[in-house]
A and B are shown apart, each in its own frame.
Chain A
Amino acid sequence: MVLKELTSLRGVSGNEDAVRNYILEKVKPLADEVRVDRMGNVIATKKARLESTGKHVMLSGHMDEVGLIILGANDNGLLSFRPVGGIDPRVVVSKRVLVGDDEVPGVIGAKAIHLQSAAERQTVLQFDQLYIDIGAKDKASAERLVSPGDYVVFDSDWVEFGDGMVKCRALDDRVGCNCMISILEGEYPCDVTCAFTVQEETGCRGAHTAAWGLEIDCAFALEGTTANDIGMAKGYREQVVRVGDGVAVSVMDGGSIANRDLYRRMCELAEEKGIAWQSKCYVAGATDMSRVQRHNGAKATCVLSVPCRYIHSASNVCCFSDIDAQYQLVEAFLAAGGTF
């Protein structure tokens, strides 16, 4: 399964090589033109195979995931680190990690609860108070295994559970990469370019350059997005989106406002084709569209997301039916020639 394989690969922002190499191998036989730009984005274009409407649609999903980076080893052999991308320090304590390209195993520990004072129990441990322990007895021993600048991923494997749910790290946004690979397998009456971008999690930096030189009529970000739908959250205002309710079509987020006509077209298309969908209107966060929309001239854009619980942690949770709905909606739009 492509998605499962994708999530097994390391791809912290700035270190996407493994994901890129896998994707290159997958898309080269499917697309007409595949290139890697100087940022490291994979840009794959497939020309219209059916009678063309003359439209050119861009899809964008990011290869990278949030993770950590090593600053260096301390005298006691513990490694100091910082986050790469938006990670809440509260979610890293007591997690297993893999350090560097050699995947040196480590753990992020903390003082045992028994030893904590009442005040300590109330405070959040910040990144400068946390360490990765690879078992090294001193600095020299640690430096034989890891170097400053090594990237770190959470050690979190693929688990299918519940009602068609899956837990893994990096579902945000390997679901988007997976969707684009599936899309490239099809044939459409319009041109389609899939951009597998780098460094989304550190500020949509890959997307800055991904649309450079492309003449496109519209662009979609295929994303994983925050779902806060279980627990005590009430209404869409707090829940953002609901897992299992279908692909989320965004009105606006912190980085872009959807083109009005494109947004309406996607909602109507989903209704018409009976594809499960929900509108998303949570004004925070940003996607690659925040760059693609306006970096080199105005583009009509929209964001289509798979709801994802516990995003930016070691355990992303998504629902297979939502992953499928995202694909169905993109496929329907392309099959209709990319008009809006």
Chain B
Amino acid sequence: MDLKKFLTEVTAIPGTPGYEKPVAEYIAKVFEPLCDEVTIDHLYDVIARKGDHGPRFMICAHEDEIGMVVTDIEEDGSVRFTRTGGVDPRILPAMEVLIQTKEGPLYGVVGAKPPHLTAPEERNKSIQMDAMFIDVGLKPEDVKSRVRIGDQIVMKGKAVELADGCMSSKTMDDRACVATMAECAEHLEKMNAPAEVMMVSTSKEEVGCWGASAAAFNLAPDVAIVVDVTHAEGPGTGKWDAVPLNKPAIATGPNLHPMLTKKLREIAKKYRVDYTLEVCPGGTTGTDASFTNVARGGIPTVLISVPLKYMHTSVEVLSMEVIRETGRLMAHFINEISREWEDLTWY
């Protein structure tokens, strides 16, 4: 797969939580040549199936992105908004955005009171979201006829290639992880793994992982593998808060199945996938894994993280090699586990 092309294209397609249809349709097209069957369910989860016998694996990476939504239109035509998912209000001033109106995307810029009109004591505080607005440069009556309360808003960004195999774009969280599934599919093809693998691009992760929890219920897999981004070391990250940028991280903690996590680490070692161990101490991991894990009667889950700098901004940075390695690791994991399936001891 042309990874750079995929990331450039996929990160530019809107897909705020609940409104993932456009990105779901793009992803479905990408997976069609790689898989046996691709479907989009009623929540816009894309389910790409490869193989039709043996143990059933589900891989989850989410396709939705953080964004905003129109709450009101002021008399002067400025558009008020709130966020869906964890947008940091500090990154918004002067951000370019696209409002997804019924007639198509409408360009706008996020505005706020200029600094020289701001009292000195306020200048040291970050601007709150309800003090901001979107300027679409139209007359108030035109704004009202084009923009409706509830219209979705996405950040506008551009994918760029950086030094040392790095790439930056908006929405690398978590479309980059969708790419790891495509990489995995290519490896599985060569391995001829005796498994049924369902690669699910999940919806609505940023607002509570509903897509993954629905898919886990519907598909009832034997094992779930979740791929999500994690914080890479960068400016201001604490010693135990972040992992190196240049290798995938395998997560461990109460949420994740102990035997499978151990297997995953052994298989990584066997196939020389360099990884960091990421400890997730809490009750949940804050990813789809927390939901697949308790779906139905419990689905053993492992979590692999792709390190990402500047998460939830429009300039997220990652290493492309990590995406390839993560795909390779998952394929080996599925292949090995499915070959020794009958002999596994779960506890």
Contact = CB atoms under 8 A, between A and B. Distances in A.
A13 B258 CA distance: 12
A205 B283 contact: yes
A38 B293 CA distance: 9
Interface string B249-282: 0001111011000000000000000000101011
Contact of B254 (A38, A70, A80, A202): A202
Given A14-B254, A84-B281, A205 B240 contact: no
Contacts of A20: 347
A202 B253 CA distance: 11
A69 interface: yes
Contacts of A60: none
B30 to A, nearest CB: 32
Interface stretch (B111-119, B179-187, B295-303): B295-303
A205 B283 CA distance: 8
B238 interface: yes
Contact of B294 (A69, A80, A147, A208): A208
A14 B297 CA distance: 17
B284 interface: yes
Contacts of A307: none
Contacts of B240: 71-72, 80, 82, 128
Contacts of A36: 346-347
A105 B25 CA distance: 55
B293 A202 contact: no
Nearest to B276: A148
Contacts of B284: 202-203, 205
B117 to A, nearest CB: 39
Contacts of A12: 254
A310 B279 CA distance: 28
A128 B281 CA distance: 13
A38 B298 contact: yes
A38 B300 CA distance: 6
A149 B296 contact: no
Interface string A49-79: 0000000000000000000011110000000
Most buried by A among B239, B254, B294, B299: B254
Nearest to A127: B281
Contacts of B296: 209, 212
Interface in A1-46: 12-15, 17, 20, 36-41
Nearest to B300: A38
Contacts of B347: 17, 20, 36, 40
Given A72-B240, A203-B284, A14 B258 contact: yes
Contacts of B297: 37-39, 209, 212-213
B283 A38 contact: no
A149 B283 contact: no
Leading 5 A-B pairs by shortest Cβ distance = A14-B254, A202-B283, A203-B283, A39-B298, A212-B297
Interface of B: 238-240, 252-255, 257-258, 277, 279, 281-284, 293-294, 296-300, 346-347
9 contacts: A17-B347, A39-B297, A69-B279, A69-B281, A84-B254, A149-B253, A202-B282, A205-B293, A212-B296
Given A82-B282, A84-B282, 12 more contacts: A14-B254, A15-B258, A17-B258, A69-B253, A72-B279, A82-B240, A148-B277, A148-B279, A202-B255, A205-B255, A212-B297, A212-B298
